Structure 1
Amino acid sequence: MQQDEFVKKLAEQGFETPVVVEREPNGRLDHHAHPFEAKALILAGEITILSQSGEKTWRVGEVFHLQRDEPHSEFFGPEGVRYLSGRKSARP
């Protein structure tokens, strides 16, 4: 997916303005959850996410989607990862 198309879809789906996130080579974030829904477009490198639904790796041009409070772990590839991430907070 192209970056312009991704940003447009995020806006249409009610996500906040996306931000670029960069993570170090061969890094990891152990088991955690976010208090928001997240969608991210991989711009460089790769990320592997382990959740209840299994383990999957995303690479450049692919989009991962995590639900609010979804427990998961993140593993960053040998080149690290850079992605464009949009968040959507829960509505009261």
Structure 2
Amino acid sequence: MTEDEFRTELAARGYGEPRSFVFPPDADGEFHSHEFSAMVMVTEGEFRLGFEDEIRVFEAGEWCEVPAGTVHLEQAGPIGATILAGTK
């Protein structure tokens, strides 16, 4: 998916304008949840979402949704990660 396609999909699903986040190499976050849903696209590097029973790996051009209240952690691969995230 391209960045333009991602922005179009965000709008179609009712998400707000995306913000960019940069994760340093091998970033390792804590388990947490949000009061909002997020739709995320990786623009550079490798982004990992960890759940209680699995870790999903996303590379540039791939995207996912994380519903509000989902317990997860955010990690980056060895070169870090840059993502775009829209919320609702």
Q: Secondary structure at the residue paired with 1:32?
A: coil
Q: Once the 2 structures are TM-superposed, how far is the Cα of residue 65 of structure 1 from its aligned partner?
A: 1.2
User: Residue 83 of structure 1 aligns with which residue?
Assistant: 83
TM-score, with normalisation over the residues of structure 1? Answer: 0.90
Q: Secondary structure at the residue paired with 1:79?
A: strand
Q: Once the 2 structures are TM-superposed, how far is the Cα of residue 73 of structure 1 from its aligned partner?
A: 1.3
Q: Once the 2 structures are TM-superposed, how far is the Cα of residue 75 of structure 1 from its aligned partner?
A: 1.5
Tell me the matched-pair count.
88
Q: Secondary structure at the residue paired with 2:29?
A: strand
- Greater strand share, structure number: 1
Q: Secondary structure at the residue paired with 1:8?
A: helix
User: Residue 19 of structure 1 aligns with which residue?
Assistant: 19
Distance 2:27 2:79 in 1: 10
TM-score, with normalisation over the residues of structure 2? Answer: 0.93
Unaligned ranges ≥5, structure 2: none
The correspondence of residues 1-92 of structure 1 with structure 2, limited to 5 A, is 1-52=1-52, 54-88=54-88
Structure 2 residue identity aligned to 1:55: I
Structure 1 residue identity aligned to 2:46: E
